[in-house]
Amino acid sequence: MASTKATRLFRKTTRSYEDFSYKKLDSKGFFLTSESHSSILLLALTKTGDVGKDYEINSESVEYSGLNFLKSNKSVAVQIVGIATVALLLVFGLTTYAPETQATKSPAATQTKKSQPALPATLVTSPAPIFQLPPPPPEIIKTVKAGAGDTFMKLLVKAGADRSSAHTAIGAMRKTYHPRYLKRGQKIAVKLQPISWGVKTGEFIGYHFDPTVEESIKVSRLENGKFSVRKTKRILNRKDIRISGSIRSSLYVAASKVGMAASTLADLIRLLSWDVDFQRDIQKNDKFNVMVERLHRKNGDFARWGKILYAELILSGKPIKLYRYESKNHGVEYFDEKGRSAQKALMKTPINGARLSSRYGRRRHPILGYTRMHRGVDFAAPRGTPIYAAGNGTVTYAGRKGGYGNYIRIRHNGRYATAYAHLKGFKRGVRKGRRVTQGQVIGYVGSTGRSTGPHLHYEVHVNGRQANPLRLRLPSGRKLKGKELKRFAKTRAVLDGRLASLNGTTNTRVTSR
């Protein structure tokens, strides 16, 4: 009862009754402690009356009464001092060894802490990730090769294009490159766009091909479904090549042994055929010397053979030299050292690689069986060998003509005309009234009409009458004069210098790849 009254009195005085607890010490006072303040507060409460009456705090006797109490109760003082000492040691130990204790935590505790995601120390300001669709599957490229009778439509459909799109693409290309010009062996790369990964077919989106080594044509589908066509030209590097050799049996065999391309050899024979009969004029140990361009792509790969810049044929010790010369009015021509054109009015032999099988004059006809006048010369050659126009002129006849079989006649001027018989067929576009140029292919060797085997019957008409082509004195071509002759002299000097720079090189075998 006394303690209750004492605590009520203490509450009114300190307003901190909740933080303190009390313990009765003796009949004259109480001992109160505070846990929240980590300290001990001693208050002396003295009686103001008898038991059951009120108590009051004697502030003047608090310290005095406390000290007297401790002096009179030494065991309690020792307990208080011990408790205080332990409290101080605990506080000191916690402040000294707390960091070390945190550093030596068990791995399990550390792992548990790391497993909990830590919040960022600062505010995240980066944008949220954006979801991106996977890339489209790569284009499928299928390469097809043109064979005999193939067309662009057939090749595109074979590669996977639908007929409607292929027709639209070919129509767009027609103005740039006519589909009819497709050559056998031409490669076409067809592009398809698959819908998803792993699919081996897709939508037709275009194609590209190289009509020549210097040109490329690309056809591409637009967003509106139409097709665009782009034609590009490649720049080729040119290098002078010297090809020379000695003839043992024929020019063809000798030139092939040293690696001269078939196209270059055909051009060489055409250039020299004005002055040379390759069946009778060529002798053993005759020599040839040619300077020709060799064209390469930027990466060094061989592209094709170019133009003949210089040609020389030494027949029985007598040289025939021809230089390439280009003028504004006449284009590309070949002249000898004195500026005389290599091109004559008519070619002596309008066929390459043929053998003279029958001369002009009287002979026994192999089919009719009696002797009659043979008003031309015959050149035996394999079936299908190209036949050239002997000179510039107009076709006056192209068709079937009795014993001549397939027959062509060309009028060159008011005096000269030539005729070609026993042809297998005519070159496309060669018909009556068509203009032809010297050296142009007009037909092919055959055995039509009265013929015992494939050969060309060749006639030259002078003022409407047949003449011997081998003995005919044909007029020479153009001869340069004045300023044009001086310009040609400069071109000749340049070509001689380029040829001289190649003379020190060894004549090794040249391959056309």
CATH number for the domain that contains residue 448 = 2.70.70.10
- Tell me if 122 is assigned to some domain: no
In a domain, 184, yes or no: yes
Q: In terms of domains, do 333 and 376 share one?
A: no
pLDDT at res. 371 = 63
Mean pLDDT for 57-72 is 48
The pLDDT-based confidence of 281 (bands split at 50, 70, 90) is confident
User: Is 126 inside any structural domain?
Assistant: no
What is the share, in percent, of the chain residues with pLDDT greater than 70?
Answer: 71
Together in a domain, 223 and 250:
no
In a domain, 175, yes or no: yes
Q: Is the distance from CB of 33 to CB of 58 less than 8 angstroms?
A: no
Do both 461 and 482 map to the same domain? no
Is the predicted pLDDT of residue 61 greater than 60, yes or no?
no
Phi/psi of residue 459, nearest 5 degrees: -130, 150
Instruction: Select the more confidently predicted residue: 48 or 356.
Output: 356
Same domain, 499 and 450: no
Host domain of residue 389: 355-467
Judge if 340 and 482 occupy the same domain.
Answer: yes
| Block residue for tokens 């120390």 | 121
Count how many Cα atoms sit within 13 Å of the Cα of residue 241 in the half-sphere of its side chain: 25
pLDDT digits (tens, 9 = 90+) for 72-127: 666 666 777 777 777 777 766 666 655 554 544 555 445 544 555 565 556 666 67
Question: CB atoms < 10 A from the CB of 27, how many?
Answer: 8
**CB 251: neighbour CB atoms within 10 A?**
21
pLDDT at 34: 44
pLDDT at 349: 80
Q: Among 40, 64, 84, identify where a domain stops.
A: 84
pLDDT greater at residue 341 or residue 121: 341
* Mean pLDDT of the chain, nearest integer: 78
Share of the chain above pLDDT 90, in %: 36
Whole-model pTM?
0.52
Q: Considering the domain boundaries, does residue 123 fall inside one?
A: no
Tokens 């250039």 belong to 271
By mean pLDDT, which of 85-94, 296-305, 373-382, 497-506 is the weakest? 85-94
Whether the Cβ atoms of residue 306 and residue 238 lie closer than 8 Å to each other = yes
97 lies in some domain: no
Q: Are residues 299 and 224 in the same domain?
A: no
| Residue 476, beta-bridge partner list | none
49-59 average pLDDT score: 41
pLDDT-derived band of residue 40, with 50, 70 and 90 as boundaries?
very low
Which of 200-204, 372-376, 385-389, 460-464 bottoms out in mean pLDDT, i.e. has the lowest? 372-376
Counting the structural domains of the chain, the total is 4
pLDDT band, residue 41 (cuts 50/70/90): very low
Domain stop point among 42, 66, 84: 84
pLDDT on residue 73: 62
The yes-or-no verdict on residue 54 having pLDDT over 60 is: no
Is the separation of the CB atoms in 211 and 200 below 8 Å? no
Residue 453 is predicted with a pLDDT of 87
Asked if the structure places residue 63 within a domain, the reply is yes
Whether pLDDT at 278 is above 90: no
User: What CA–CA distance (Å, rounded) separates 353 from 446?
Assistant: 15
Among 233, 250, 276, residue at a domain's last position? 233
469-494 pLDDT, tens digit per residue, is 777 776 667 889 999 999 999 999 99
In a domain, 133, yes or no: no
Residues 247 and 319 in one domain: yes
